[in-house]
Amino acid sequence: MQIDHIELFVPDRDAAVSWYGEWLGFQAMPEHAEWAADGPLMMTNDSGRSMLALFVGEAAGEREVAGWRRVAFRTDADSFWSFAERYRQSGQPIEGPVDHQKSWSVYFSDPWGNALEVTTYNYSAVSMIMHD
């Protein structure tokens, strides 16, 4: 069994498609386009093995936390470092890299308050970069 999709509520789906595309490489899935009319707009960054389902609704940052706390995306060391540096240079708030002794993570939120994380288990490769 594996995770199929994660549902996120955003007030502006078009803006969310752009943001998730720019920062995490997600793209809308044409094979599920018909669902978007009255349901989720499906996105993936790994050929559909895992997906985001974007629903129009109240942003997480505008209500008390309920349900899932954070969604974490795993990547390799080079992509981790590239993402962290690019996101930091954009001026958007980001926490980390945080050393978890066997993985490294950075923490941030999408524009609608959904808590996100990018993490890598390529611990030694990122540790070498951090100490250079």
Does residue 79 sit in the same domain as residue 131?
yes
Band (39; pLDDT cuts 50, 70, 90):
confident
Domain boundary among 12, 29, 57: 57
Question: Which domain CATH number covers 130?
Answer: 3.10.180.10
Whether the per-residue pLDDT at 47 is higher than 70: the answer is yes
Q: Are residues 74 and 129 in the same domain?
A: yes
32 & 53 share domain: yes
| Domain ranges, residue 1 | 1-57
Do the beta carbons of residue 13 and residue 57 sit within 8 Å?
no
CB 48 within 8 A of CB 3: no
> Which residue among 57, 79, 105 closes a domain?
57
Same domain, yes or no, for 52 and 78?
Answer: no
| Percent of the chain surpassing pLDDT 70 | 91
Q: Are residues 49 and 77 in the same domain?
A: no
Please write the tens of the pLDDT for every residue from 67-121. Answer: 667 888 999 999 999 999 999 999 999 999 999 999 999 999 999 888 899 999 9
Tell me: do 10 and 32 sit in the same domain. yes
Number of folded domains that form the chain? 2
28 and 79 housed in the same domain:
no
Distance CA(7)–CA(20), nearest Å, equals: 13
